[in-house]
Amino acid sequence: MSGRFRPRPGRVMQGYKFALDPNAGQEQALHSHCGAARAAYNWAVSWVTASWRQRKAEATYGIGEDELTSWRPWSLPALRKEFNRIKTTDPRFAEWWRENSKEAYNTGLANVAAAFDNYAKSKQGKRKGARVGVPRRKLKRKARLACRFTTGTIRIELDGRHVTLPRLGTIRTHEPTAKLLARVQGGTARILSATVRHERGRWFVSFQVEMVREITRVHQPDAAVGIDLGVTHLAVLADSSGETRYEPNPRHLDGALKLLRFHSRRVSRRQGPDRRTGRKPSKRWEKANDERNKIHHRVANLRTDALHKLTTRVRAEYGSVVVEDLNVAGMLRNKRLARHVADAGFGEIRRQLVYKGQRNACPTIVANRWYPSSKTCSACGTVKAKLPLHVRVFTCDACGLVLDRDENAARNLVALAAACTTGTGVAGDQDTSGVSKPRGADRKTRRQRPGRGGRAGGASLSHQRWEEAGDRCRDAEAQLALW
């Protein structure tokens, strides 16, 4: 492949994903490489944790700390060195390790090193999010098939319909690769790595590319839009010019439920696998299961396509986008809304808006999770104390505004675009002076009067009284000091 990569300012990392159409031999080789990555992963986990179990056993015999078995390192260079030492003599690898590329084993070892690092940082409190447990061995029936190539022959063929990977050879792609091929030949892109993965019933290859990407100017760079996500409507968009647009919810899963029930009943009537007795599935069960999986894959593809079209359209039009920091994990615990929330893809919408905004050098403002966008009147700023979820029309008791609940929330979100970002770095955070509350704490919205504290509503009445009392005390102290 000709074309030399010319480094320029504005280089970004981007992924290109293509579906593959391997033949029978290539598909077997893909399974072998992914299985080799899983075998290397399991060996590394067992090798590292063996020293932990040994030290724990020795401690029960009263052996001193200095005499215990030394800890085995989990860094990638150390794992590589030990694996290269034992791969020719260990019966688990000696007979077949030469059949696969070295990158397959390196994939498993690199994943182990990252997993132990995440575990150590989480235990030390240096990693955000939920606690990460000790890495465990991967089961063959549950492990995701994936393998990453960083060295060797990795290229896009000149015909635009084939890719070449180390030890796997040239594999036909299901779709043309002309866009990436043109960039590589033009010298504006350089392929760094390739990852093959089996998902949704077929094989895919993803190229990690370092490329020069020009910033695309949006249609309204000075305009902002607030996006309120929901189930009735997928998104309600209110821009700074006062225009409101409703994006319908496609409900792809709901449209396929009837067909899924039919195929699920067909699968349940046939002889499936049984782990307890070791029974193998029948051919008719496998055929029926494949037909059911095709429906799930189609729903997932339709959802992905719809979300990409929505986020691309929004990012190509507005300069600033305001979204909410939704507690999606908490919503999924609601048994009445879980299926609809999962089908909408709230988290994926926010992720795409953020990275697509970075391409155009446009900011994405994330409103605080506790910001009362639905309870605040977009006209006068009065904040309701309570607004149940079943109340879909917002009615202001102060100014008499009657508006759709989601449209009112979208208008409040777009108003945050002009506001200053608070000390926490999150728009709409009205309480930054106190001690931050733990995740999951309940912040109740207090009733607020209009005209105090800005457009979105002022401080609560009790807070205002405390401030007035403090002012009186300071005045009295000043008078005493002068006297």
The structure tokens 């995440």 sit at: 118
Q: CA-CA distances (angstroms) from residue 343 to 247, 297, 330?
A: 15, 13, 15
Q: Of the residues 103, 239, 343, 406, which is catalytic?
A: 406
**C-alpha triplet 120, 123, 125: angle, nearest 5°:** 110
**Type and span of the H or E element at 235:** strand 233-239
Radius of gyration of the chain (CA): 29
Active site (annotated) includes residue 324: yes
For residue 330, report the phi and psi dihedrals to the nearest 5 degrees.
-70, -35
Active-site residue 305, yes or no?
no
Is-contact 177 161, C-beta < 8 A? yes
In terms of DSSP bridges, do strands 155-156 and 233-239 run parallel, antiparallel, or are they unpaired?
unpaired
Considering the candidates 228, 239, 343, 407, report the single residue annotated as catalytic. Answer: 228
Q: Does residue 21 have an active-site annotation? A: no
Q: Are 15 and 210 in contact (CB under 8 A)?
A: no
- The residue behind tokens 């999010």 is 129
Residue type, 232: T
Contact 82, 76 (CB under 8 A): no
Q: What stretch of H or E contains 268?
A: helix 252-268
Annotated catalytic residue, options 103, 239, 324, 343: 324
Give which of 394, 314, 384 is closest to 352, Cα–Cα.
314
Measure the CA–CA gap between 404 and 473, rounded to whole angstroms.
45
Enumerate the active-site residues: 228, 324, 406
